Structure formats: C-alpha cells, structure tokens
C-alpha cells in the first residue's frame, strides 16, 4: 500500500473499491423466510440487492457485452428494448457507462415509478397499449421492432437473446449452489422471458439432476394455459407471457404453480410487513408458489428467486385505494 494517512494513490490494491457500478452486480444474499414459513426450509434470493434494484441487471450487462463482442453495437448507437421496466434499467445502467442511448418501450400497465426511473437514467420511454395482440402494430413488441429497424439502432431482444439465460447460468445459478453448499432441493422462480429459470435450472441440474424446478405463473399467462381462452389479462408485472419466448427451455421445468393477482399482491404485502423485505408483485407471486412447495416438501431446502423490490409498486400494490379499485381489498 502506497502513501501514509491522508495520502491517496491510484495504485491501491488492498481496499475494496469497485471500478464502476456494473462490477457490483450479483452476489445477492439468500435470506430465510422464517416468519412467513416457520419450519425454515424456505429461503429467498433477494435480487433487489443489485445496484439497480433487480435481477435484470445481470442480463442487461450480458446482452450488451455480447453485442459489443459481435460488433453489433458501436459508440453513439441507440439501444431499443421492449421491457416491463427492470430490463430497461439494467440496459440503461450499462448504456450510461458505455455511451449508448436507450429507448425503452413499455406497456401501459407498467407502473409510473418504472417509467420515471428509466427517464432518471436518461432513457427515452415509449408507452404502448397493453390490450392488443403481440403482432398488433401498436403493441410494445411491434413498436420496438419498428424502432430497432432504423439505422444506428439495435435491439438486444431479451426474449430470444442467448445472453439472457447464459447470464444466469454463469452467475445466479453458481451463487445459489455455493450459498446453499449444494443442499438446494427445489428452485422456484417466476417465468417471464424464461431466462432466469432456464439458466439457473440448467446449472443446478448439471450439479445435481435431482434438483426440482418449479415455475410460478400468473393466472392468464400462456405457460399454464390449457387453451386460448385461458390466456387473459392480468396485473402482475414482469412475469407470464402471451407467447413462448425462445429464451425459455420449458423442458427444464418439472412443475408449475399458478397464482392469481390477488394471491400475489397479498403475499407481497405480507412478506414486506412480516419479513421486512420490500418485494415487488412478481416476488410476492413467486413466494406464494414457493410457500406451497415448502409446505408439501418439508424435508427439502426450497430457494425462491425474488426478482425485484417494491419501490416500483408504491402507487399500485402498496396503495390501498388502488387495491380497492381493482377488487383486492386493502391487502393484508
């Protein structure tokens, strides 16, 4: 170590100083949910502890680094991505440091907090109607595709980009295996793009093929629908789909739990009040599904991925008037 007290050197190597915020992504904690489930076999991977507040920073970094390696992104280019918010934040963080512009295309059911947060990072936000088919020119998928077709614009496409599940295969999966000392018996995760559950499951099953993988799906999503009539609107953000993403390897999922919006939101509030962990709606949904599994399988260590925190949902799930207006009472 060079220099004495009060003398700083750029060559210091023994202090714990990260070179930039991107190097702080990952290594999020596992936390036992002992108040929600006293037997103690239910633990949460708390991804809100990432610097931007969600699991999606892992793939934001991975997708941009892949594009740079392949020569698909150049200084000053514009990144375009349809997002429920969190992937947009992950991309915005990387874009800010790498000198790119970002256009985040969102459905109008996403919270105002998410839109404002993206603008705070310098992104342009384009809001599209939710109640249209994916191939409708007004849908956020179609609008993003049109914008990305312009010169100097690039779409990472989290729904088909192999860097999405690969980020979780390289980071999230190994972290969970190390943190549980290989004792994990069941992984529970919500399914949206399918990247998280695919990447983590692939890694864990390579270590131990007996690890059981449970996907949690909002009622109305295509993943657990038995027919077209079952694919309906729902309010839980960031999970479920009305099409099958290429990033989702459905063969890795052993079973599903289907959770309604009301069940998800009630658990969101319960975990926040009883465990002191401010979770989002998709996290409440995943925990509701994981709690059912933990009760059925008391001898197994159940790990549930909680993808983000609740600050983006203060005007919705944590607002009593919004809950009443949507027929959920005031939660628990």
Phi-psi region of 106 (alpha: psi -120 to 50; beta: other; left: phi over 0): beta
CA-angle at 285, arms to 279 and 286, nearest 5°: 85
Cβ-count burial 263-295 (b if 16+ within 10 Å, e if not): bbbbbbbbbbeebebbbbbbbbbbbbbbbbbbe
| β-pair partners for 30 | 45
CB 271 within 8 Å of CB 310: no
Q: Please, what sign has the CA dihedral across residues 198, 177, 259, 280?
A: negative
Rounded to whole angstroms, the Cα distance separating 163 from 63 reads 5
Smallest Cα–Cα separation from 308: which of 105, 117, 63? Answer: 117
Q: Clarify whether 56 is annotated catalytic.
A: yes
DSSP string over 112-177: HHHHHHHHHTT-EEEEE-SSS-TTSTTSHHHHHHHHHTSTTEE---TTT-THHHHHIIIIIHHHHH
Residue from 45, 56, 114, 316 carrying the catalytic annotation: 56
Rounded to whole angstroms, the Cα distance separating 125 from 13 reads 40
**Residues recognised as catalytic:** 56
């Amino acid at each position: 170590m060079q220099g004495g007290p009060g003398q700083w050197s750029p060559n210091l190597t023994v202090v714990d100083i990260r070179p930039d915020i991107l190097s702080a992504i990952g290594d999020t904690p596992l936390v036992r949910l002992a108040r929600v489930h006293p037997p103690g076999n239910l633990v949460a991977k708390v991804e809100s502890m990432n610097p931007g507040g969600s699991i999606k920073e892992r793939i934001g970094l991975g997708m941009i680094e892949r594009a740079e390696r392949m020569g698909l992104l150049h200084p000053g280019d514009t990144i375009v991505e349809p997002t429920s918010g969190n992937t947009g934040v992950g991309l915005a963080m990387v874009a800010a440091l790498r000198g790119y512009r970002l256009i985040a295309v969102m459905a109008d059911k996403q919270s105002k907090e998410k839109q404002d947060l993206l603008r705070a990072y310098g992104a342009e936000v384009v809001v599209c109607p939710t109640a249209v088919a994916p191939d409708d020119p007004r849908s956020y998928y179609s609008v993003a595709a049109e914008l990305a077709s312009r010169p100097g614009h690039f779409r990472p496409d989290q729904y088909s980009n192999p860097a999405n599940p690969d980020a979780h295969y390289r980071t999230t999966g190994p972290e969970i295996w190390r943190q549980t000392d290989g004792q994990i018996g069941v992984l529970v995760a919500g399914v949206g793009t399918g990247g998280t559950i695919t990447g983590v499951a692939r890694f864990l099953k390579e270590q131990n093929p007996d690890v059981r993988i449970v996907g949690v799906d909002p009622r109305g999503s295509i993943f657990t629908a038995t027919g077209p009539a079952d694919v309906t609107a729902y309010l839980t953000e960031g999970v479920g789909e009305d099409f099958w993403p290429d990033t989702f390897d459905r063969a890795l999922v052993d079973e599903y739990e289907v959770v309604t919006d009301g069940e998800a939101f009630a658990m969101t509030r319960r975990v926040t009040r009883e465990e002191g962990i401010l979770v989002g709606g998709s996290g409440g949904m995943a925990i509701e599904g994981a709690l059912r599994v933990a009760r059925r399988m008391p001898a197994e260590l159940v790990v549930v991925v909680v993808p983000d925190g609740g600050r983006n949902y203060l005007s919705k799930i944590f607002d009593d008037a919004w809950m009443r207006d949507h027929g959920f009472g005031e939660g628990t």
